[in-house]
Amino acid sequence: MLQMTIEIPDEALGALRKTPQDLAREMRQAAAVKWYELKLLSQERAAQVAGVSRSEFLVVLGRFGVSAFQYEADELLEEAGRE
């Protein structure tokens, strides 16, 4: 697994009222959610990035206000018409 180091000002960490571990977990989840939302990662891969199971990732998506469904209405209608 790749390990990365980032620098966060102490003041920002204090303002967020997070421990370094909590902030790291939340940043991983936020990145995974955004990449999923942009359709760059599947749910399975995004869950891996977030460090949670796929079912837990669905909860994370809800916490961030992102739908677990990545289809637009017209895409659903098109899929339904193919069957």
Q: Where are the domains of the chain?
A: 13-82
Judged against a pLDDT cut of 80, whether residue 68 lies above it is answered with yes
Q: Is there a contact between 25 and 60 (Cβ–Cβ < 8 Å)?
A: no
**Which of 68, 22, 25, 65 lies closest to 49, judged by CA?**
25
What's the pLDDT tens digit per position in 6-47? 898 888 888 989 899 999 999 999 999 999 999 999 999 999
Amino acid at 62: G
pLDDT band at 82 (very low <50, low <70, confident <90, very high): low
The tokens of 63 are what?
């916490």
More confident of the two residues 77 and 63: 63
Judged against a pLDDT cut of 80, whether residue 52 lies above it is answered with yes
Report the Cα 25 to chain-centroid distance in Å.
Answer: 11
